[in-house]
Amino acid sequence: MFSDTFLTENNLINLLVRFSLNLVVQFVMIRLIYYRFSRKADFLFSFFIMGIVIFFICSILDSVELQLGMALGLFAVFSILRFRTVNYSVKDMTYIFAIIGISVVNSLANVPPPIVSALIINGLILCFTIALEMYISHSAYVTLVVIYDNLKLLKSENDPELLKDLSEQTGKNIEMIRIQKFDISRGIAELEVFFKTR
């Protein structure tokens, strides 16, 4: 069948179809999932360009049939590159790895039937990503450090009043508190407060 052999052939049309699929999946991953949950626009450009370049590098490596050792060596060199001027969070690094993985899969995967398998693999990656993001956004706490001056409310029997007072002062629905340190001479305490954004 045409659909079975189309994406396994090395030609320009095959490359453009794979590239289009890769671009659509990257757009969903970066713009619709990553940006929606992180609201970080700083890395959008880097993620897109990285995915595009890796896709074409892998396609070229596949078309010229380089030895596996040389290909792994090239990726090892690439993998030790670090963005030294920016501190990435673990989540940002995970998205970088996901973009690299998606680009490699879309450029090299030839599991028959190719069109269906590419859609299933990309769909699974996107589904797991959105499911984990939604779970984390509903269950994870955001923390904030607060300097607090009403030390009498820090007694354990005053917990409900303390939560109410901190919620009013911060404008957040504070659910938990951790005392970091006291300064009794100045009458203040440093508290780490926990709240959910959604």
Beta bridge partners of 188: 183
The tens digit of pLDDT for each residue in 124-137 reads: 999 999 999 888 87
The tens digit of pLDDT for each residue in 151-195 reads: 888 887 888 888 888 888 888 888 888 888 888 888 888 988 888
Start-to-end C-alpha separation, the chain: 50
Number of neighbouring beta carbons within 10 Å of residue 6: 15
Number of neighbouring beta carbons within 10 Å of residue 68: 8
pTM of the entire predicted model: 0.66
Instruction: Tell me, rounded to whole angstroms, the distance of Cα 171 from its chain centroid.
Output: 28
Q: Which residue has the higher pLDDT, 2 or 131?
A: 131
The tens digit of pLDDT for each residue in 150-159 reads: 888 888 788 8
Quick one: average pLDDT of 18-33? 94
DSSP secondary structure letter of residue 152: G
Residue 6 has pLDDT above 70, yes or no: no
Angle of CA points 87, 90, 95, to nearest 5°: 100
Three-state DSSP class for 143?
strand
Three-state DSSP class for 149?
coil
Number of neighbouring beta carbons within 10 Å of residue 128: 11
